[in-house]
Structure 1
Amino acid sequence: MRGLTKRLWIGLIVWIALMDSVDAKMSPKEEAYFDYYRIALQMMKTKVEDVPNTGDVTLDFLYEMIPLHEASIAMCENIMRFSDHSEVKQIAKRIVHNELIELDKMKVLLEETKEHPHIELEKEEAYLEVYKDSFQQMVDKMERAKTKGDINQHFLEEMISLHEGAVEMEITILQFTNNRELRRIARTMLVGQKTQLIQMQRVMKMIE
């Protein structure tokens, strides 16, 4: 716990140091929005860094994807708190609705799978190599997102990056897991997130 807290504080200090890179001076509302976004992103990174390598790719994926869903929900709740853009708020609301359902399913499957893990170390090694690359690319994109004076545009940019990363991870786990329930969950998430990506990209073009 102390290690997690220390890394969280270090991450927040880094975020504060990066404040100078924001394009324009932020209003109090923008500052509040970005403060919460930074905390949610850092919490996601810290939780993912702490997930165990279990030897079972199904368990690995669940441990990795749960923090992503938690962060996505937190970021959507954040934009709903501060945005006046009706379409952006509707997108965020749908994402929260879908991901709360998926989160519950993943947590149930996690507890069930922990009782009887299917250990395949060579498969896990191959899976983790692909997964870690996808996760790092996703985080890099989310950290590069800037305000440009519009929290709605920033939200769409961050959430598009998060969804694109999640889609890659879901495609990857479908190539590696034989767990039927996880395959059902991953396919459902894949369809939903691809649909949401199209919606977000459309609204992003309207805002730009």
Structure 2
Amino acid sequence: MDFKNINIMVGMAALFSTVTLNSLANDLSENHIHKIANYEIQSDSKIYTVLTPLKEVIPQNLKGFKEYDEYAHSIMMSNSSQIFLTKDVGNNFVIYMIPHHEAAIITSIGALKYTHNLEVKNLANRIIHAQEREVEVMQKLLETGELRGNDNGQFLDKMKKIMTDMMGEMKSYNGQVSSGEAITKHYLENMIVHHKGAINMANMYLKYGKNPELIKMSQKIILSQDEEIKEMEQILKRAK
């Protein structure tokens, strides 16, 4: 299966014009998902998949932190990459981790624009730079087909459960509260949950995965994001 050609065919078929909600929505409360909007992807094809270049995924026209928050949720719940799912552990890992990283990048861009906390600005910049590089690595591995050949029928269900549990714990931003302090608190609280989800996925990959690059990346995610969780918890304590 040539994933690059599939991506081109998906684009030509114009199967999706916006980010849409997938089956994860079935496992989340209606109160949580009704606020999540569909935002148009800023790409020539207007179609999002996990192989869409990151520069085309990041929107230029969002207004207010609330839209960044909702857009990030929509990216994680998009169904437009389901075509790439197989039984391969590495393949399915990056299909879940790429939008997870993209959501962290998008939310961090929003936080940079609206928080006044210099510690949080520094943290958001570090998250953006680290996860941009990792998205590029994962997209390359997926596109070249290097992640095939390690089948496990249980792994996909485990990844879905981690993502569903994480999404159920994350909160939608209350757009009526627009102060820098409120945005900072929301960003940190949600990013702690988000980081824990990434750590759980990385640990799951280390249990089942075999690709050397993804093993190294997973180990890095566990170490770096655990440290960032501690950092965010300390910032929240000082803000009280």
The question of whether the paired residues in 2 share the 8 Å contact of 1:142 and 1:161 is answered with yes
Contact 1:47–1:67 (Cα < 8 Å) also in 2:
no
Superposed CA deviations along residues 11-70 of structure 1, whole A, max 9, x for unmatched, are 9992079xxxxxxxxxxxxx8111221122112211577363212110110111111111
Quick one: which of 124, 136, 148 aligns to 1:117?
A: 148
Q: What is the one-letter code of the residue matched to 2:64? A: A
Task: Note the aligned Cα RMSD (angstroms).
Answer: 2.8
Query: Where has structure 1 moved over 4 Å in runs of 4 or more?
Result: 1-4, 10-13, 144-149
Give matches, 1:94-173, under 5 Å.
Answer: 94-112=126-144, 114=145, 117-120=148-151, 123=152, 125-143=153-171, 150-173=182-205
1:138-157 Cα deviation digits (max 9, x unpaired): 11111366677611000001
The runs of 5 or more residues in structure 1 that have no matched partner are 18-30
Q: How many aligned residue pairs are there?
A: 190
Matched residue, 1:15: 35
Determine the structure 2 residue equivalent to 1:42. 74
Higher relative contact order (CA 8 A, sep 6+): 1
* Aligned residue in 2 for 1:25: none
- Name whichever structure is richer in helix by fraction: 1
Q: What is the TM-score normalised by the length of structure 2? A: 0.70
Where 1:166 maps in the other structure, the secondary structure is helix
Conservation of the 8 A alpha-carbon contact between 2:68 and 2:110:
yes
Aligned residue for 1:206, secondary structure, equals helix
| Secondary structure of 2:159's aligned partner | helix
Look up the match of 1:175.
207
d(CA) in 2 for partners of 1:117, 1:14 = 36
Q: Please give the alpha-carbon distance, in whole angstroms, between the structure 2 residues aligned to 1:190 and 1:179.
A: 16
> Identity across aligned pairs (percent)?
28
Tell me the TM-score normalized by structure 1: 0.80
Report if aligned partners of 1:51, 1:63 keep a CA contact under 8 Å in 2: no
> What is the CA-CA distance between 1:4 and the residue it aligns to?
6.3
Provide the rounded CA distance (Å) in 2 between the counterparts of 1:115 and 1:168. Answer: 23
